[in-house]
Structure 1
Amino acid sequence: MNTVALNIIGIDVDKAEDLGVGLNKLLANFQLYYQNLRGLHWNIQGKNFFELHAKFEELYTGANDRVDEIAERILTLGVQPLHTFSDYLQASTIEEGKDIKTDTASVELVLNNLSTLLNLEREVIEKASDAGDEGTVALLSELISEQEKTIWMFAAWLK
């Protein structure tokens, strides 16, 4: 008889480890997204300053909360979350947005970052579903719904 080792929350240990890898990649990308938003908030200029300055603050505050939720989910699965900037830079596919000051370039960066996050979340949610990990599915479902709406709004803003 072949038995599967389960972690403390009843998820197959190997599948939990794989989910941890995917969530760590998402965590690293969220950290770069967060830092990009901080830079946009600080450096935005032009006629849309007040609108975007406030919006970027709202987004980075939310991203900071999500970083914590993702790291805690990784720990719940029994995996160590990444926690150094060197690890984030190595694992992230989102690139640093440096010296971006205009409204259009700022919004385009946010849209690109959110698209990257969505793709990663969809990859991980599929693995989580296959592993019977409803906790990760719920976390990512909420993220995906929020980000799709934000993408729609920023895309409308660009038109």
Structure 2
Amino acid sequence: MTQLNSIGLNVRKSEVLAEKLNELLADYSIFYQNVRGYHWNIKGDKFFELHDKFQELYENLFIKIDDVAERIRTLGHTPNHQFSVYQKEAKIKESNEVSDGVKDVKDILESLKIIIILQREILDLSADADDEGTNALMSDYISEQEKLVWMYTAYLK
């Protein structure tokens, strides 16, 4: 007999989802701090527009970090909270050069690519687990971030 957790999902599938969501939490956390660095340190003729765009992005990432951590809790698991764990698990790495707007936008695009790919993987897992809550969250994030990719790519051209 299949064991179900408190929200009626398969215990094992929920555990796998929570593990993947913790990976996403690590990537989001490193990405968030990188974008804060871009916001604080941007220089040059595009300072005003990029400073505002970077703030808009890191505020959005802050909300997503909380949403992902709360989803892990909803699935009955514990979200990681240590940066030492994030640094080991995240595919996104800390940025060292944060004051060049063009490089910053390229880094943002690469980070979004990593995150979107992982979210698609989570979307597949959540569909298989009949986890509509995680599915809806990932679906919303993917469509929002695909639009950001288009906009940041257009900015670079």
For normalisation by structure 1, the TM-score amounts to 0.98
Number of the residue aligned with 1:150? 148
Number of the residue aligned with 1:12? 10
**Count of aligned residue pairs for this structure pair:** 157
SS in 2 for 1:132: coil
Structure 1: segments with no counterpart, 5+ residues: none
Number of the residue aligned with 1:26? 24
**Structure 1, residues 57-102: CA drift from partner, whole Å, max 9, x if none?**
0000000000000000000001110101111111101011112211
**Where in structure 2 are the equivalents of 1:8-157 lying within 5 Å?**
8-157=6-155
Q: Distance in 2 between matches of 1:39 and 1:72?
A: 25
Q: Distance in 1 between matches of 2:14 and 2:107?
A: 32
**Structure 1, residues 94-116: CA drift from partner, whole Å, max 9, x if none?**
01111221111010010000000
**Structure 1, residues 120-143: CA drift from partner, whole Å, max 9, x if none?**
000011000000000000001110
Query: Kindly, what percent of the aligned residue pairs are identical?
Result: 47
For normalisation by structure 2, the TM-score amounts to 0.99
Q: Distance in 1 between matches of 2:7 and 2:73?
A: 11
Q: Distance in 2 between matches of 1:81 and 1:10?
A: 20
Structure 1 runs of 4+ aligned residues shifted over 6 Å read none
